[in-house]
């Protein structure tokens, strides 16, 4: 009804604004601007969200606008949240689980995939359980807390013949994809340098992100991974070495094993280099800059929920903003159900590469040595 009403309103406004428009002109205008959008009738990915916190809520809200993905179930350790989500999203009781009994999704044909949005250290076991239940797994980043765990997750999903995807929403972001297109077309010339700045001032000192047992680290595992991943898709290569330096100004808030600030540098096979910053103690840091012999590209903000803003040596990037999580879920549904190949991968192997690099960053920061990489 809303779509039909919007269509009629547009048609009325057009008629008012163009009183002398001929019938053929009206038909042409209708054909080009006022086409009634037919409802999507293809396959739909039925998703249960595991972890009903702030980001799980953001994903759930965004999925209400998805065409190819539908929220059909929840998994949570908080009964009151389950009850609230049931009422808000019309989720049947048979599709509601807790962390102890969710293996029973194996016998629920109404759930195709589980989106794991829990603290980092829980991803490994939860994704493997999802795979053993025969369901596709979508996992928030970082995929795990180290490469060893990540490899075990990839292996488990391969063994179960289910997909493992990682929540790299920016791999579908229009301005980001335009820069990748320009780079691949040679419009920047030879890529020489990338800078990634990822940071904010973190609040509550008691939150799980500052608990090594749950987070697996500190800023690097939460915000720094954006510059790790961004360096790879912006430059279009995999780094072959890394150096890193850690700075800690508040050892009370940032306890042992919880990094506050890390600067890190990459070298790439072509000779390009990257310089990046990951921090929990400085704000206004969300910028990517790519420099080549023939031009440049900048995203600022580069990784927030949007709108992303960008420019190149050719001018401002004007691709329209779309809710990242809505696009992500539609695209992931197409990957799982239709075999679609994204421009930038979002699979478990992609997540594993980031974990190998993060392991190397931590090692470089600890030892002060240059660490060679093979990802």
141 annotated active-site: yes
User: How buried is 85 (Cβ within 10 angstroms: 0-12 exposed, 13-18 middle, 19+ buried)?
Assistant: buried
**Which residue in 168, 226, 233, 362 is the catalytic one?**
226
Q: How far is residue 303's CA from residue 289's CA, in Å, rounded to a whole number?
A: 12
The residue among 180, 170, 211 whose CA lies nearest residue 304 is 170
Asked whether the beta carbons of 110 and 46 are under 8 A apart, the reply is: yes
What the block records as the tokens of 204 is 């509550």
**Which residue in 68, 141, 353, 356 is the catalytic one?**
141
Strand order of the sheet with strand 273-279? 315-316, 310-312, 296-299, 281-292, 191-201, 273-279, 261-267, 241-247, 371-372
Secondary structure element (H or E) that encloses residue 98, with its range: none
Query: Coil, strand or helix: which one is 325?
Result: helix
Cite the active site residues.
Answer: 141, 226
């Amino acid at each position: 009804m809303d779509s039909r009403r919007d269509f009629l309103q547009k048609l009325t406004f057009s008629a008012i604004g163009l009183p002398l428009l001929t019938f053929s002109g009206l038909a042409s205008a209708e054909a080009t601007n006022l086409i009634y959008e037919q409802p999507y009738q293809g396959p739909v990915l039925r998703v249960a969200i595991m972890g009903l916190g702030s980001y799980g809520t953001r994903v759930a809200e965004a999925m209400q606008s998805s065409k190819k993905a539908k929220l059909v179930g929840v998994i949570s350790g908080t009964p009151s949240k389950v009850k609230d989500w049931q009422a808000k999203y019309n989720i049947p009781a048979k599709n509601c689980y807790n962390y102890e009994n969710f293996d029973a999704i194996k016998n629920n044909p109404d759930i195709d995939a589980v989106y794991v949005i829990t603290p980092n250290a829980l991803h490994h076991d939860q994704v493997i359980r999802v795979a053993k239940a025969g369901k596709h797994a979508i996992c928030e980043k970082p995929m795990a807390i180290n490469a060893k765990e990540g490899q075990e997750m990839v292996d488990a999903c391969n063994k179960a013949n289910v997909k493992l995807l990682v929540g790299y929403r920016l791999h579908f972001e229009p301005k980001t994809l335009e820069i990748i297109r320009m780079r691949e077309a040679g419009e920047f010339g030879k890529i020489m340098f990338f800078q990634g700045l990822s940071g904010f001032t973190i609040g509550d000192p008691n939150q799980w992100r500052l608990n090594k047992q749950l987070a697996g680290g500190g800023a690097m595992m939460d915000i720094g991974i954006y510059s790790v991943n961004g360096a790879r898709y912006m430059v279009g290569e995999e780094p072959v070495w890394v150096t890193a330096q850690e700075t800690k100004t508040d050892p009370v808030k940032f306890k042992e094993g919880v990094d506050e600030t890390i600067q890190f540098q990459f070298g790439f096979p072509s000779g390009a280099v990257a310089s990046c910053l990951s921090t929990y103690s400085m704000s206004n840091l969300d910028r990517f800059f790519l420099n080549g012999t023939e031009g440049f590209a900048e995203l600022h903000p580069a990784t927030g929920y949007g709108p992303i803003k960008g420019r190149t040596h050719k001018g401002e990037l004007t691709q329209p903003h779309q809710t990242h999580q809505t696009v992500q879920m539609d695209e992931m549904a197409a990957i799982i159900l239709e075999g679609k190949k994204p421009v930038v991968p979002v699979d478990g192997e992609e997540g594993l590469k980031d974990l190998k690099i993060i392991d190397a960053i931590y090692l470089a920061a600890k030892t002060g040595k240059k660490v060679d990489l093979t990802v």
